[in-house]
Chains A and B, each alone.
Chain A
Amino acid sequence: MSSIEQVIADYGPALARIAGAYERDRGLRDDLVQEIAAAIWKALPSLQDEARLKPFVFRIAHNRAVSHVARQAARPRSAELDETLRDEAPDPEARLVESERSQRLVAAVRRLSLPYRQVITLLLEDLSYEEIAEALGLTVNNVGVRINRAKAQLKAQLLEGGAER
């Protein structure tokens, strides 16, 4: 059975990227990663099949992120202004989004609706269609349809050169 420390070592950066697809503010994003890790820690004993660890971890990550989106929408977002100010004077310490293209991609992913955002982030983390279906409780066909639509929307957005909202 994997320990939480092992899960963090293996999936920590991926969890941070997933969190980034849901939360623009860096402080809140760090909080979200912590919440995801705590949820994984509590749920790990219920994992029956070690081979299913990857979809298990990403399912928890997305579920926790969805709840974060719902909760944060109910709270004032003064922190976002702080981040805008930080963007004008980039803080090199622990900055997750480094390149312009990467930033544009993350911004485009954030603009996708939740069903498309979820499948595309899992695809970008190299999960197979079967693993994505397992993580999100969908059929493989449904995953395929959503991925095609998500990719089309992403391509359109990136071609437009859409800047972050």
Chain B
Amino acid sequence: MSDDFLEDLKRNWREQDAEVEVVASRLKRGLMISRVMLWLENGVGVLGFLFGAWAVWHGLTHDLGVVAIAGASIVLTAPLFAWMAWRARRQDPDWSDETPQGVLRQMIERTYVIEKLMRVCRLQGWALIGLSAVLWAATPTGYVDSDDRLVLITSIFVVSAFVCFGWAIWRDHQARSERTRCKALLAEFK
């Protein structure tokens, strides 16, 4: 194999040069969006928790059972989702201190974590359905009024639960495919 061949390859490889400024500006924009998204994610979590706490207080002080219970569910789920997001980020491979094989092994591990998180997601869905059932079951006691607000809130809960189930099924399927692909790529290194 002559060096001329390699020099020729390098020349052809560089011919696909991207415009530095276009690449750089696109990357800068992407990084800015990443920073904003991180802040938004944290901000929405905190706002959700505060709103839920306010709803609980408002519901209790104004004798609005539905509002209090809905607020309590937000107070409980906001930290759970924040924990899930933190956990998912923590499971990101260490890109700077890993070999490609190590990255693939970490990704395989991550697919198992995703499957566990999806089990939490399904539980969340069942919790929402259970909460709706409890709210309707409480209407004969008079603590919860059987009105349009109850219909609206429980409808939102049930729809959210089915969205959870659908997302969990889709993500589970993705995790299994990803694991299969990672194993195949790992085999290429052997």
Residues of A near any B CB (own CB < 8 A): 4-5, 8-9, 12-13, 15-17, 20, 30, 33-34, 37-43, 46-47, 56, 59-60, 62-64, 66-67, 69-71, 73-75, 94, 96-99, 101-106, 113-115, 118, 123-126, 136-138, 148, 151-152, 154-155
Contact = CB atoms under 8 A, between A and B. Distances in A.
B174 A74 contact: yes
A63 B27 contact: no
A4 B31 contact: yes
Contacts of A12: 18, 20, 23-24, 27
Interface string B8-50: 0110110111111011101110110010000000000000000
A34 B26 contact: yes
15 contacts: A5-B28, A8-B24, A12-B24, A13-B17, A13-B20, A39-B96, A63-B98, A94-B18, A99-B15, A102-B13, A105-B12, A115-B189, A124-B10, A124-B13, A138-B99
B181 interface: yes
Contact of B185 (A66, A125, A137): A66
Contacts of B59: none
A96 B14 CA distance: 10
Contacts of B98: 63, 137
Q: Which 4 A-B pairs have the closest CB atoms?
A: A74-B177, A137-B99, A43-B96, A102-B15
Contacts of A47: 96
A122 B160 CA distance: 47
A63 B27 CA distance: 18
B96 A56 contact: yes
Nearest to A43: B96
A96 B18 contact: yes
Contacts of A94: 18-19, 22
Interface in B158-190: 174, 177-178, 181-182, 185, 188-189
Given A39-B95, A59-B95, 12 more contacts: A5-B24, A8-B23, A9-B20, A16-B18, A34-B30, A42-B95, A43-B94, A70-B181, A70-B185, A103-B16, A114-B185, A137-B99
